[in-house]
Structure 1
Amino acid sequence: MAAHIKKVFKNYPLLANSVVYGSMCVGAEFSQQVIKRKFLDKKVPPDPFDTGALARYAVIGSCINSNLLYFWYKWLDRTFVGTATQTIMKKLVLDQFLMTPQLLVIFYISMSLMERKEDLLEECREKFIPTFKTSCGFWLPAQTINFLLVPPPARVVYVGTCSFIWINILCILKREELHKVTD
C-alpha cells in the first residue's frame, strides 16, 4: 500500500497533493462543525452540517492553496538547497513573510467571494493582522521542522497535515464575528 501511495505521489504529485491538502481543509472544517454541534451549541436536534462551508474549504484546499504551495515549495527547494541554518532561515522568512500574507488574503477574499458577501475585503481587513500573528506562532516552528527534517517530495503532505491543525485554528478565526465600527 505504501509503495502504491509513493508511486502516485511520484507520478501525479500535483493531483496527489491537491487531494491530500483539500481533504485536510475539509476535515478541519468538518471537525470544527462537529465540535460546535457537540460541545458549544448543544441544540436538540442539532443544526444540520453546513455543506456550503465544507464545499468552500474544498475549493480553497484542493484548487487554490494546494497548487500555490506545490509550486512555491518546488521553487523554494530549488532556490535554497540544503539544511544549513542560514538556508533554513531564508526559507522560514520567505515562507512566513512573503507567502503567508498572500495565502491569508487569498483565503479571506476567496471565502467572501464564495459566500457572496457585499464587501469582499471587509473580513480580510479586520482579521488579517490577528490571523497573521497566530500564523507566525504556529507556522514558524512547524516550518522549521519541515525545512530541517522533511524530504522535499513530502513537503506539501507535511504542510497539509500541519494544516489540519492550522485550518482548525483558521476556522475558529473565520467564525469570529466582525466588529463593525459605528460612527
Structure 2
Amino acid sequence: MAWELTRRRIVRAVNSKFIFDRIPLLHAVIFFIEMVIVARLVSRFNAYYDERPVLTMMVTNAVLGGIADTVAQTITSVRERALRKPGGVTKDDTVAIEIHELDRKNSWSDRDLIPESKDLPPPFDFERLTRFMAYGFGMAPLQYKWFSFLSRAFPITKTSAFGPAMKRVAFDQLIFAPFGIGCFFTVMTVAEGGGRRAVAHKLRDMYIPTLKANFMVWPAVQIINFRLMPVQFQLPFVSTIGIAWTAYLSLTNASEDVEPKTAPYSPNIRLQ
C-alpha cells in the first residue's frame, strides 16, 4: 500500500511538469526514448534484417506504432491544457487552435470539450501505448508476408515497372486494407475488454468512414512504396508514413474516450 501511494505521487508529480508550460514532460521523455530506439534500429537495420527479417519488422512496427500513439497523446494533452487556461483557447493561441481543428468531432462548448476531471484519461495512458505497440508487433509478420507475396506476384523490372506497381496498389487497397481495418477494430476492442456487441458497434459506425479515409490517403503512399522502395523497406516506410495518420486517428479516438459515461462505446481507430 505504501509503495502504491508513493508510485502515484511520483506519477502525479511527473505528469504535472510541462516544458515551456505547454509540452508535457512525461510525454517528451517517452518520445525521446522511442526516438533513441529508432535511431539504433536505423543504424543497424540492414544487419538486423539480414539476420532476422521478420523479428526486425515486428520490433520496427511496434516502435513506430508507439511513436504514433505518443504523438497523439501529446496533442491531446496540449489541447486539454490550453482549454483549461482562463478563457480557454484564444485567437492568439495558434498551436491550440490548430490542434483543436484536428479534432472536428468536438464542439467549442467547454462542457463538451472539458468533462469532469474524473472522466478524463490519465495524462499519459501507458495501457493504450502498450496496445498500439502490441498490435503493430503482432501484425508485422502478416504485413511482411503480404508485401513479399505482392513482390513475387507482380515483379517490377526495368522494362515493366508502372503496371506491376499499380497492380500491387490495387490488390493492397482492395484486399488487405479492408481486412486490416476490420482486424484492428476487432483486436483493439477485445484488448480493451469489449465483446462481440462492442465490436459490432465499432464496425457499424467506424468501418466505412475509416475505409473511405484510407482510400483518400494510402493509394498515393503505396504507389511510392511499391514503385521505389526495396521490399525490406516497404513495411518500415508504411509504418513511418503511418505515424501522422495513426496519430490523427488516435486523436479522434481520444475525443471519443472523454465523452460522458452514458456513451455506449469508445471507438479506437488505426489503419495499415
Q: Give the TM-score normalised by structure 2.
A: 0.60
Q: Which has the larger radius of gyration?
A: 2
**Residue of structure 2 aligned with 1:34, choices 74, 99, 103:** 74
> 1:81 and 1:126, CA in 2 relative to 1: closer, same or farther beyond 3 A?
same
Q: Give the alignment's Cα RMSD to 1 decimal.
A: 2.4
Q: Identify which range, 120-129 or 71-80, moves more after superposition.
A: 120-129
Task: State whether residues 146 and 155 of structure 1, in contact with CA within 8 Å, keep that contact through their aligned partners in structure 2.
Answer: yes
Residue in 2 aligned with 1:50?
A: 125
Residue in 1 aligned with 2:194?
A: 117
Aligned length in residues: 179
Residue in 2 aligned with 1:98?
A: 175
Deviation track 1:123-160 (CA, whole Å, cap 9, x = no partner) reads 12210111111111111110010011111121111111
> 1:162 and 1:66, CA in 2 relative to 1: closer, same or farther beyond 3 A?
same
5+ long unaligned stretches in structure 1: none
| 1:5 lines up with 2:67 in the alignment | no
Deviation track 1:2-30 (CA, whole Å, cap 9, x = no partner) reads 67331111111111111111111111111
Residue in 1 aligned with 2:7?
A: none
> Quick one: higher RCO (CA 8 Å, sep 6+), 1 or 2?
1
> 1:149 and 1:53, CA in 2 relative to 1: closer, same or farther beyond 3 A?
same
Residue in 1 aligned with 2:58?
A: 18
Residue in 2 aligned with 1:72?
A: 146
Q: Identify which range, 38-47 or 123-132, moves more after superposition.
A: 38-47
2:143 aligned partner, one-letter code: L
2:142 aligned partner, one-letter code: L
1:72 aligned partner, one-letter code: W
How far, CA to CA, are the matches of 2:78 and 2:252 in structure 1? 19
| 1:131 lines up with 2:210 in the alignment | yes
Percent identity between matched residues is: 25
Higher helix share: 1
> 1:79 and 1:51, CA in 2 relative to 1: closer, same or farther beyond 3 A?
same
Q: Identify which range, 85-94 or 99-108, moves more after superposition.
A: 85-94
**Residue of structure 1 aligned with 2:185, choices 108, 121, 128:** 108
Residue in 2 aligned with 1:152?
A: 231
Residue in 2 aligned with 1:59?
A: 134
2:48 aligned partner, one-letter code: V
How far, CA to CA, are the matches of 1:173 and 1:81 in structure 2? 38
Aligned-pair distance for 1:98?
0.3
Task: State whether residues 131 and 170 of structure 1, in contact with CA within 8 Å, keep that contact through their aligned partners in structure 2.
Answer: no
How far, CA to CA, are the matches of 2:171 and 2:252 in structure 1? 24
Task: State whether residues 24 and 160 of structure 1, in contact with CA within 8 Å, keep that contact through their aligned partners in structure 2.
Answer: yes
